[in-house]
Structures are given as C-alpha cells and as structure tokens.
Amino acid sequence: MSLPRIVCRFSCGAASAVATKLALAKYGHERVEITYSDTGSEHPDNKRFLADCERWFGKSVTVIKSEKYADTWAVWEKERFIMSRQGAPCTAALKREPVYLFERPTDIQVLGYTAEEEDRAKRLREQNFERVIETPLIEAGLTKADCLGLLERAGIELPAMYLLGFQNNNCIGCPKGGRGYWNMIRKHFPDQFERMAALQRKLGEGSAFWVEEDGTKLTLDRLEPDRGEQHNEPSIECSIMCHIAEVEIAEAAE
C-alpha cells in the first residue's frame, strides 16, 4: 500500500511558503504535492513570487484553476451576491470545487497557520475532524514575522501586497476585509474599489459588508476614507477548509 500524499496548500503567502519548505524537509520531494488555487483576482506579482518559491522548494507547484469562472468578479456577477452566512461564493467556486477534482480522501494536508494562530488551527481541526491536517509552523513555534524573515534571508522578495502594507496576500478586493482594508484598496487599487462599490449599488444594501451599531447597512459608497485601521482588524481567512466550516456552521443554525 502506498503512503498517503502530503499536500501543501500554498497560497502565495509567506506562511504557506515556509510551511511547504518544512514539509519538503520532513517528507521529501517525491511524497509532497504543492498546490496553488489561482482565483484570477490576486496581484500579478504572485506569478513572480510563485516562480521564486518553486526554485526555493526545488519542486514545481500544481496550479489549480476553475474552468467555469475567470475570476472573483465572474462569480459575484453571475451568482448576484458577494457574501452570505455560508461565506463567499468565490471561495467555493474558485477554490473548493476545483480542488475537489485533485484531492484524495487519504491526503495529509499541510496548512500555513502560524504560532499566533494556534487557537484558529484547533477550531479548524474540530470543524474538519475527518481530515488529517498538519500545521508545521505551529509545531516549530514560527510566527508570521519569522516567516517573512525566513523568506528575506532566502533571497525571495516578499509579495507585492505585503510591500504595500496589506496583512495578507489575498485577492485584490476581498469581501471578507474590514473597513481599514477597504480603505487601503481605495488608496492602492481605486478601480477595484469603485467596481465593488458599483456592484453593491446594483445588488442593493443586502450586499453591504458591514452593519453599524444603529443597524444601518454600511456600503462602500458610505465608507469614510478615515474609517478602520487595517492592522487592528482580524486577519482575512479565505481557505477551502474555512469555507467548508462556514457552510456547516450556517446549516447547523438553520
């Protein structure tokens, strides 16, 4: 009987890159598979970062992409909604569904949760108890700052989104972002900000990302430029595993 595959969920982020490197050191190149879900909406610099990491890994990355949707905008515009209690439809369409065709039930999945995220990793395991998940960064006590430093010492330039001041290397214009995040999008990617504002206008107030204390829906059109502080906002989580958990939680509440 062959050993189960070790599948590293590389996201073009610093943490997942270091987690992948640790998995390769532990299990060897033949047993490890590295995947990257290309949503079509991430910063173009990700291609450069992915190529740099492939050289560092000494192994190629399998790029998984939806055959149905070109990017997040295609999902939102066809489905006519951006977010719900079950999460964002873009995660299901661009990450979860394409990955199902690749994964096997016996896969051991390696995720890039850092030492600061031990509680989140614990909850993820509880919500996905049927899956075998490894978190090598937590086991090694490595923080997000450690991962950034390791990449720099390896001679790999950090992804452009980090250099612009974003906490994560997510899609440009993630609906899970907070007020501060969206004001940074307004500053660095004004066309993306306006496009999302226009989509919210088209879909109505039900597409608002936030609710004020008085119950008023807060759309991007109403977001003041000085609202929010991105570094004080929760980290955006957009993994396949988290989407599965969101769906299960919402279904249990019905």
Domain ranges of the chain: 6-160, 179-231
Quick: pLDDT tens for 25-77. Answer: 999 999 999 999 999 999 999 999 999 999 999 999 999 999 999 999 999 99
4: tokens are 């189960």
64 DSSP assignment: E
Confidence (pLDDT) at 231: 62
| Fold adopted by 6-160 | Rossmann fold (3.40.50)
Which residue type, as a one-letter code, is found at position 18?
Answer: V
Confidence (pLDDT) at 229: 77
- Residue 238: count other Cβ atoms within 10 Å of its Cβ: 23
Instruction: Reduce the DSSP state of residue 251 to 3 states and report it.
Output: helix
Q: Is a pLDDT exceeding 80 seen at residue 252?
A: no
- Residues, the chain: 254
CA distance linking residue 79 with residue 207, whole number of Å: 12
Quick: pLDDT tens for 130-174. Answer: 999 999 999 999 999 999 999 999 999 999 999 999 998 999 999
12: tokens are 């073009």
Residues 6+ away with beta carbon under 8 Å from 44: none
CA distance linking residue 31 with residue 18, whole number of Å: 17
Q: What is the mean pLDDT of residues 176-181?
A: 94
Q: Is a pLDDT exceeding 70 seen at residue 239?
A: no
CA distance linking residue 146 with residue 254, whole number of Å: 41
Give percent above pLDDT 90 in the chain.
Answer: 84
